[in-house]
Amino acid sequence: MTRSLGRSRRKADTSPVDFGPDVSLFHVGDRVSVRVHRRVIKICLLLGVLCLGLVVLGLVSGSSNISFGEVVRVLLGDEESRHRVTIIEWRLPRVLLALTLGAALGLSGAIFQSITRNPLGSPDIIGFGMGSYAGVLVVTLVWGSGYVGRTGGAIIGGLVTAVVVYLLAFNGGVRSFRLIIVGIAMAEFLGSITSYLMLRSDVQLSHAVAMWGAGSLNGLGWKQAFPAMVIMVLSVPALVWAGRALRMLELGDDSAKAFGIAVERNRSALIFLGVGLTALCTAAAGPIAFIALAAPQIVRRLNGGVSVSLGSAAAMGAFMLGASDWIAENALPTRVPVGVVTVSVGGMYLVWLLVRESRREA
């Protein structure tokens, strides 16, 4: 009798408990419970399907169109296909890299916007992206380094910038408005330094760095895609922790402290994680603007104002960068770096966001 009751109780613990039309609470075992917004799940599933569609679209379209059947045969191991190199070595790594870097940017934007509790709090606005870019530029101009060197330069540059901005913005704690203002000033300062370095360097090297600085996936392959995907997989435990920490910090510093949260320590760790995700993208493809800014906010509006989950922000970022790269490669009269597309679309979004925020405050 006791065993049967225990079995029925454990079975009941795994069933959803309804908390309204859009929320379910799943109990796993005796200690862990997960609250899930159904709309967020639907959005993630929809974005996942759209990203899968982008993979297919990216594999079949290009300078030479390839049939879907041929793509399937190559992916299943057809060694004799004349399109094997095009699909496996050129198009597939580029598509996967676009989705991976887009997810990293979406995650970074969600982290910084949650920390600052401000829709303008993204790494490309508050200077951390420019710090990574400056770090890569210094490493490239001094040592002419490859992907590993650029990655190190991006991480160091981003972290140094984050530390400086954090210290300048700290005044008995970090307030979102002060952090954003200091970050914008730091971005402008770093922009002037990078411009000076470009003018003082060799012409050919400056041209190559300028093309990379526009944010481009051209010429990238498995050498960049595989490490990026591995890093993203290895960062999953940190992202799971980040999601829980962000939910507590969004309550406000005083409320988080009341729950026993070390606010500044958690905020510093989250900044470190966000800078690392930004540096991952900057090292591989250059500074790609506005994905980190727009992806979390679009998701927030789609899910009805519910606090943005990192999973949905990552999915939206992946879709946005994947779609932008396909447009840059196939939909325009001439091929352009993907950063040109994201800046064009993101600039209009930023204007709309600023107008909206000013009207809300009026």
Q: Are 108 and 259 in contact (CB under 8 A)?
A: no
Residue 188 structure tokens: 């402008």
Comparison of pLDDT for 102 and 261, the residue scoring more: 102
210 pLDDT more than 80: no
* Mean predicted lDDT score pLDDT of the chain: 82
Highest mean pLDDT among 27-31, 116-120, 241-245, 344-348: 241-245
Least confident of 72-76, 347-351, 357-361: 357-361
5 pLDDT more than 80: no
Domains (ranges, CATH) in the chain? 49-62+101-361 (1.10.3470.10)
Q: Which residues pair with 170 in a beta bridge?
A: 174
304 to 24, 83, 111, 307: CA distances (angstroms): 16, 44, 19, 9
* Cβ neighbourhood burial of 5 (10 Å; 0-12, 13-18, 19+): exposed
Comparison of pLDDT for 302 and 16, the residue scoring more: 302
Average pLDDT over residues 273-278: 91
Average pLDDT over residues 162-185: 80
* Cβ neighbourhood burial of 95 (10 Å; 0-12, 13-18, 19+): buried
pLDDT at position 177 is 75
Comparison of pLDDT for 94 and 255, the residue scoring more: 94
pLDDT at position 60 is 94
30 pLDDT more than 70: no
95 pLDDT more than 60: yes
* Cβ neighbourhood burial of 260 (10 Å; 0-12, 13-18, 19+): exposed
Average pLDDT over residues 48-54: 96
pLDDT at position 170 is 77
Comparison of pLDDT for 30 and 341, the residue scoring more: 341
Separation of alpha carbons 74 and 93, rounded Å: 14
Q: Give residue 267's pLDDT band: very low, low, confident or very high (50, 70, 90).
A: confident
Least confident of 102-111, 162-171, 252-261: 252-261
pTM over 0.75: yes
Q: Give residue 3's pLDDT band: very low, low, confident or very high (50, 70, 90).
A: very low
